[in-house]
Amino acid sequence: MTARLLDGRALARAIENSLRDEAATFTGMFHRRPRLVVVLVGDLAASASYVKGKQQAAERVGVDSEVIRVAAAATTDSLVTLVRAIAAGSHGPADGILVQLPLPEHVDAVAVLDAVPPERDVDGFHPENAGLLSQGRPRFIPCTAAGVQRMLLDAGIETAGRHAVIVGRSDIVGKPLALLLAAKGRGGDATVTLCHSRSEDLADHCRRADILVAAVGRPRLVTADMVKPGAAVIDVGINRIDEAGGSRLVGDVDFDAVKEVAEWISPVPGGVGPLTVAMLLANTLLAAELRS
Ligand code: NAD
């Protein structure tokens, strides 16, 4: 069997099309475009490239964006002050405020993220938004988790009553996704197992998954023998590996082997990544609408 591909790029474009209409309606009503302000600290090439992708997508949809670049030597205090100033309007209207992660090691990332007002927290990382999600009344859902759920919904992959195994318990991907899939209602009602670096018998847990999500950051962590025939496998991981002739991006799943076992599989690149960006724009529009 060769699995069906979960094409995140195509789905993201379809979502962008409907967001473009929504943004145009907003602009018509309020005589300004929705606006996202991004804080980019340091000069990590991957972060710069993610931010560029977000800006390009914002432009396609009709959302204004501004990137504020800050030197890697910035202190926690200076970043907290900057985020508060942005919220107060120092860089123009800021419906959504996003601090690109990772921050340099010397910075207290929690303090900086907590400075983003929860009603503009389009990444959904503020404790108030995390709390709302955990209570089943989400406002801003972390973009990658929302993207994975959207991918499942779009493909018609049933979650209700099925066993979802998520590998990786980060606050930005694994944990919010576990909450989403376990929540009552459409795209939820799954029985969720959340695995992590201390889980025993990872392969055993994975083999019991109807829906298997890998969000770790380790190339080929999920091999074909860890996948139940007919499962849906969603690969969140992004890893750059060096090979003869250059480097390339791969996920956490051994794609070529797993696609022979699974019924559905998401590729890297072109899977969850583009959906993360589309969900960020959806959150930005929601923030603009809530503020207006
Ligand atoms: P993280 O480092 O914060 O968390 C990794 C998680 O993996 C931890 O919970 C850890 O317990 C678990 N883990 C580590 N080794 C393990 C092992 N051997 N077995 C089982 N679990 C193990 O990472 P993150 O921020 O959640 O990101 C995870 C991956 O997803 C990374 O590759 C990242 O680049 C990628 N990512 C992709 C997108 C996207 O849009 N596609 C968005 C965010 C993150």
Catalytic residue status for 54: yes
Domains in the chain, please, with CATH? 31-117 (3.40.50.10860), 143-273 (3.40.50.720)
Q: Which of 141, 170, 240, 283 to mutate to test the pocket of ligand 1 (most atoms within 8 A of CB)?
A: 170
Q: Which of 54, 175, 228, 259 is catalytic?
A: 54
> What amino acid is encoded at 244 in this protein?
A
Residues with CB under 6 A from ligand 1: 144, 167-170, 172-174, 195-197, 199, 202, 215-218, 236-239, 272-273, 276
Going by C-beta distance under 8 Å and a sequence separation of 6 or more, which residues neighbour residue 135?
Answer: none
Question: Ligand 1 centre and the CA of 292: distance in Å?
Answer: 36
CA 102 to centroid of chain Cα atoms: 14
The residue contributing the CA closest to ligand 1 atom 26 is 170
pTM, full prediction: 0.98
- Cβ atoms within 10 Å of 244's Cβ, excluding its own: 4
Q: Return the closest-CA partner of residue 188 out of 134, 126, 237, 130.
A: 134
70: enclosing H helix or E strand: strand 64-70
Q: Are 166 and 176 in contact (CB under 8 A)?
A: no
How many residues are present in the chain? 292
Rg of the Cα atoms in the chain? 19
- Spell out the residues 6+ positions from residue 104 whose beta carbon is closer than 8 angstroms to its own: 41, 42, 72, 73, 74
The full DSSP string for 15-58 is HHHHHHHHHHHHHHHHSS--EEEEEEES--HHHHHHHHHHHHHH
Distance from C-alpha of 54 to C-alpha of 279, rounded to nearest angstrom? 10
pLDDT tens-digit profile, the chain (292 residues): 699 999 999 999 999 999 999 999 999 999 999 999 999 999 999 999 999 999 999 999 999 999 999 999 999 999 999 999 999 999 999 999 999 999 999 999 999 999 999 999 999 999 999 999 999 999 999 999 999 999 999 999 999 999 999 999 999 999 999 999 999 999 999 999 999 999 999 999 999 999 999 999 999 999 999 999 999 999 999 999 998 889 999 999 999 999 999 999 999 999 999 999 999 999 999 999 999 8
Considering the candidates 64, 100, 149, 228, report the single residue annotated as catalytic.
100
Beta sheet of 191-195, edge-to-edge order:
4-5, 264-265, 232-235, 211-214, 163-167, 191-195
Backbone angles phi, psi at 133, to 5 degrees: -65, -45
- From the CB of residue 7, how many other CB atoms can be counted at a distance below 10 Å? 17
Residue type, 143: C
Cis status of the peptide bond prior to 229, with omega within 30 of 0: no
123 is catalytic: yes
- Going by alpha carbons, the residue nearest to atom 17 of ligand 1 is 197
